[in-house]
């Protein structure tokens, strides 16, 4: 599934939710960084029963090695929707991949 997501992002077949736009501004995350993060990204959590539709959490790194978490819709949609995005807190995540208890 990550390859399909990468292809859609690379082809410009994605959009940001209003929440994601707001969060990208607050957190100073650029569109370029989002695109970079998907190039190296891997799915670390899957939400097939999410109330707004199936989605997943991707961990990727920008060219400057900034870690980003990006929740997006499944690629089965025509356009991948970026739901939210943030730089993960190392106190809440082990290697930014697994939630700490």
How confident is the model over 40-79, as pLDDT tens digits?
A: 999 999 999 998 899 999 999 999 999 999 999 999 989 9
The reported pTM is 0.95
| Gyration radius of the chain over CA positions | 13
Query: In this structure, is residue 16 part of a structural domain?
Result: yes
The number of folded domains in the chain is: 1
DSSP one-letter string for 27-58: TT--HHHHHHHHHH-EEEEEETT-TTS-EEEE
Query: In this structure, is residue 68 part of a structural domain?
Result: yes
Domain that holds residue 53: 2-87
Query: In this structure, is residue 6 part of a structural domain?
Result: yes
Q: b/e map of 64-73 (b: 16 or more CB within 10 Å)?
A: eeebbbbbbb
Query: In this structure, is residue 82 part of a structural domain?
Result: yes
SS3 26: helix
Query: In this structure, is residue 101 part of a structural domain?
Result: no
Query: In this structure, is residue 70 part of a structural domain?
Result: yes
Query: In this structure, is residue 97 part of a structural domain?
Result: no
């Amino acid at each position: 599934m990550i390859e399909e997501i990468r292809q859609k992002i690379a082809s410009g077949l994605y959009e940001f939710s209003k929440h994601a736009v707001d969060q990208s501004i607050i957190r100073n995350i650029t569109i370029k960084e989002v695109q970079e993060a998907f190039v190296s990204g891997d799915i670390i959590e899957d939400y097939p029963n999410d109330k707004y539709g199936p989605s997943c959490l991707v961990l990727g790194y920008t060219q400057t090695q900034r870690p980003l978490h990006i929740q997006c819709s499944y690629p089965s949609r025509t356009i991948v929707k970026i739901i939210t995005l943030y730089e993960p807190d190392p106190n809440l995540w082990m290697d930014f991949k697994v939630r700490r208890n």
